[in-house]
């Protein structure tokens, strides 16, 4: 960067050293003014709240008056809370589920429709739900999965077993079926990204591989998959984040119930803070969610960084 | 084509079409039951079309029950104004960092972009109590501010990447013409990145339109509360609305983003790639 500054200075140098210094100074003034709105917005509405939440997690606070310092009391209480196991287990289901299903199925559909005549149209049913909100998804799937809902009534009509099983009332079945609902909604973004990745593979690479006799599974395994790897990293990262922050769907479909059996960390935080008015405790759950997020990212990035160079023989890619 | 390859091709079509039908089933169910008369919904025969045409009647009921009219006005305001402001504010930052070569620019960029790693749950309590203390709670300005702040990091990220690829000679010839850095930004650089701006706008419009959580925590009155939060109350068991009314509400609030997605599918995909790569 400093090198670029030098060339820029050389351009302005024609105007003489005094002007050059003044111009650069003036540009710094302008540039500070222009970066300021962004910095002020994120500082005031994102950083400050973040730090305040961190502080609140060490206090007792019910939202009125002022927070009272409590040390690690909230964290101790959280550790002893029987709901912690449930919510952590459900969060794990969500992370693993949104990783395997939307990403795996998304890749499958992208590859199946790749270079298929009419592929764009065949993909559309999968893409559209992505434009729909978590709220609308919850409304629709609440009707499908609820007691006497569409699934129950279909199973009964076909005289299949399960017509009387309450899909949303039994744990961990309720979490599993909600992950399926999320899969329905979120698969589109993965397909879209995988299709972009597939389209960026040079035709010559594929032709060359075909000439060498690679077709079907071999072609995918040996040529396409390695070239998709950088993109897969992005898609998987996105899915991890989406799985961790699941809230709308669960809150609207089960409110974390019955009991607290389908809560995820996001739901537990919301319930403790805004239903239970225990802000210190809610903040501690939010901090735990942040830590889990950082751990998952660190694990994932660590795996990504591990060398997998043997695939690079095909060259090209992006 | 050999026989095996032909069967492989048929297999691909068959698998995609079967999965596609599964994916369309929820939409089919919504349509069938949104057209059903609210009074004739018995919870049986959910998969069979009723032959009624009660869609508009159901919509009117949903409209009244959740005050969708006010919800639409405020949500439209949020999802147009906030992403537009965020795009300009973020572009300004990207321009300052790359074109104006802000001192320690990369550090500032990390400051702006780094907060995308915060989970929303870490922001909710302080925003709620802070908004209550500053009279921003349950105001449209308050919600717009939050949406802008949440959208800015992505906009700054995309625009910084975009400007890094732009030629600097444009800036220098602007200076020679006597324009100041802001005029150069507004007249030359901003129009130059129209497509990128449009791409993030479409993406963030969808995000804001579909938001539920910030609306839930930071608003309560029907004319401030965003649409999704209203629809969620519609489906609340205690609200006593029938399934056809609830489904019609859900269908109705989804139409704008579905239409936008179909109309701008290429732009949408571009926004996604710009945002991730």
Looking at this predicted complex, what is its ipTM? 0.89
**Closest among B196, B207, B173, B165 to B91, alpha carbons compared:** B196
Would residue B47 count as lying in a domain? no
**pLDDT score, position A208:** 87
Range of the domain at B21: 1-33
pLDDT tens-place string over residues B146-190:
999 999 999 999 999 888 887 778 888 888 888 888 988 998 889
Same domain, A38 and A87: no
> Does pLDDT of A13 surpass 80?
no
- Contact list, B95 vs chain A (CB under 8 Å): 34
CA distance B162 to B160: 5
- Tell me if A49 sits within 8 A of B126, measured CB to CB: yes
> Does pLDDT of A177 surpass 90?
yes
- Contact list, B92 vs chain A (CB under 8 Å): 34-35, 37-38
Would residue A82 count as lying in a domain? yes
CATH code, domain carrying A160: 1.10.3720.10
Average pLDDT of chain A, as a whole number? 85
**In the predicted model, what is the mean pLDDT of residues B115-137?**
91
pLDDT band for A29, please (50, 70, 90 cuts). Answer: confident
> Does pLDDT of A6 surpass 80?
no
**pLDDT score, position A298:** 85
pLDDT band for A222, please (50, 70, 90 cuts). Answer: confident
* A261-271 burial: b if 16+ Cβ within 10 Å, else e: bbbbbbbbbbb
Same domain, A111 and A50: no
Interface contact B260-A30, CB threshold 8 A: no
Same domain, B25 and B150: no
Would residue B75 count as lying in a domain? yes
Q: CB of A53 within 8 Å of any CB in chain B?
A: yes
Nearest CA of chain B to the CA of A86: how many Å?
A: 19
- Tell me if A215 sits within 8 A of B253, measured CB to CB: no
Same domain, B189 and B269: yes
Would residue A62 count as lying in a domain? no
**pLDDT score, position B277:** 53
Would residue B90 count as lying in a domain? yes
Q: Which residues contact A255 (CB under 8 A, 6 or more apart)?
A: A267, A271
Helix/strand/coil percentages in chain A, nearest 5: 75, 0, 25
Angle, vertex CA A90, rays to CA A87 and CA A92, nearest 5:
110
Range of the domain at A115: 73-314
The number of domains in chain B is 2
**pLDDT score, position A3:** 39
Contacts 24+ apart (CB under 8 A), A167-172: A168/A142, A168/A253, A168/A254, A168/A262, A169/A258, A171/A86, A171/A258, A171/A261, A171/A262, A172/A89, A172/A90, A172/A93, A172/A261
Helical spans, DSSP H, in A150-278: 150-157, 173-199, 203-211, 216-219, 225-244, 248-253, 265-270
The number of domains in chain A is 2
Assessment of whether the complete model's pTM goes beyond 0.90: no
Q: At what angle do helices B3-34 and A134-145 cross, to 10 degrees?
A: 90
pLDDT band for A103, please (50, 70, 90 cuts). Answer: very high
Nearest CA of chain A to the CA of B93: how many Å?
A: 4
> Does pLDDT of A21 surpass 80?
no
The burial class, CB within 10 Å (0-12 / 13-18 / 19+), for B198 is middle
**CB interface of A with B, residues 245-304, below 8 Å:** 245, 247-248, 251-252, 265-266, 269-270, 273-274, 279, 282-283, 285-287, 289-290, 293-294, 297
Distance of CA B7 to the CA centre of its chain: 41
- Give the nearest chain B residue to A242 (CA atoms): B119
């Amino acid at each position: 960067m400093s090198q670029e500054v030098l060339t820029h200075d050389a351009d302005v140098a024609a105007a003489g050293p005094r002007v050059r210094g003044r111009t650069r100074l003036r540009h710094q003034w302008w540039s500070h003014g222009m970066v300021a709105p962004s910095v002020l917005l994120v500082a005031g509405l994102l950083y400050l709240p973040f730090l305040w939440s961190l502080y609140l997690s060490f206090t007792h606070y019910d939202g009125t008056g002022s927070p009272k310092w409590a040390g690690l009391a909230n964290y101790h209480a959280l550790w002893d809370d029987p709901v912690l196991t449930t919510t952590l287990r459900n969060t794990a289901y969500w992370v693993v589920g949104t990783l395997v299903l939307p990403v795996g199925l998304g890749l499958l559909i992208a590859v199946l429709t790749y270079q298929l005549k009419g592929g764009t149209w065949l993909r559309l049913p999968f893409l559209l739900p992505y434009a729909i909100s978590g709220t609308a998804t919850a409304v629709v799937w609440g009707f499908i999965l609820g007691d006497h809902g569409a699934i129950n009534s279909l199973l009964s009509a076909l005289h299949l077993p399960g017509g009387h099983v309450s899909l949303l009332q039994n744990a961990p079945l309720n979490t599993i079926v909600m992950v399926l609902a999320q899969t329905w909604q979120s698969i589109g973004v993965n397909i879209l990204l995988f299709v972009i990745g597939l389209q960026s593979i040079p035709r010559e690479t594929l032709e060359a591989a075909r000439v060498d006799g690679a077709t079907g599974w071999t072609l995918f395994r040996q040529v396409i998959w390695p070239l998709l790897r950088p993109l897969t990293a992005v898609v998987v990262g996105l899915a991890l984040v989406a799985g961790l922050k699941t809230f709308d769907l669960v809150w609207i479909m089960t409110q974390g119930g019955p009991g607290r059996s389908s809560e995820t960390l996001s739901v537990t935080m919301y319930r403790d803070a805004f239903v239970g008015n225990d802000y210190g405790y809610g903040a501690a759950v939010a901090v735990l969610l942040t830590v889990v997020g950082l751990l998952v990212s660190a694990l994932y990035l660590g795996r990504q960084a591990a060398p997998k160079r043997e695939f690079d023989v095909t060259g090209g890619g992006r | 084509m050999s026989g095996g390859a032909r069967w492989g091709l048929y297999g691909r079509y068959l698998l995609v079409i079967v999965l596609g039908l599964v994916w369309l089933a929820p939409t089919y169910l919504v349509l069938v039951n949104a057209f059903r008369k609210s009074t004739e919904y018995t919870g049986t025969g959910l998969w069979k079309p009723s032959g009624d045409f009660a869609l508009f009647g159901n919509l009117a009921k949903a409209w009244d029950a959740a005050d969708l009219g006010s919800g639409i006005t405020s949500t439209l305001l949020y999802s147009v104004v906030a992403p537009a402001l965020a795009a300009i504010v973020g572009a300004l930052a990207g321009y300052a960092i790359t074109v104006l070569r802000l001192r320690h620019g990369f550090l500032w960029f990390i400051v702006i972009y780094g907060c995308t790693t915060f989970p929303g749950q870490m922001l909710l309590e302080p925003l709620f109590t802070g908004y209550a203390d500053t009279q921003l709670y349950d105001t449209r300005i308050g919600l717009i501010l939050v949406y802008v702040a949440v959208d800015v990091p992505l906009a700054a990220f995309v625009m910084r990447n975009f400007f890094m690829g732009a030629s600097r000679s444009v800036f220098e010839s602007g200076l020679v013409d006597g324009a100041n850095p802001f005029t150069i930004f507004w007249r030359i650089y901003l129009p130059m990145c129209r497509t990128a701006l449009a791409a993030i706008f479409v993406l963030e419009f969808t995000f804001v339109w579909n938001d539920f959580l910030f609306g839930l925590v930071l608003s309560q009155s029907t004319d401030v509360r965003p649409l999704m939060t209203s629809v969620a109350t519609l489906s609340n068991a205690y609200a006593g609305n029938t399934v056809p009314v609830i489904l019609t509400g859900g269908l109705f609030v989804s139409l704008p983003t579905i239409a936008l997605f179909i109309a701008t599918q290429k732009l949408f995909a571009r926004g996604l790639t710009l945002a991730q790569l």
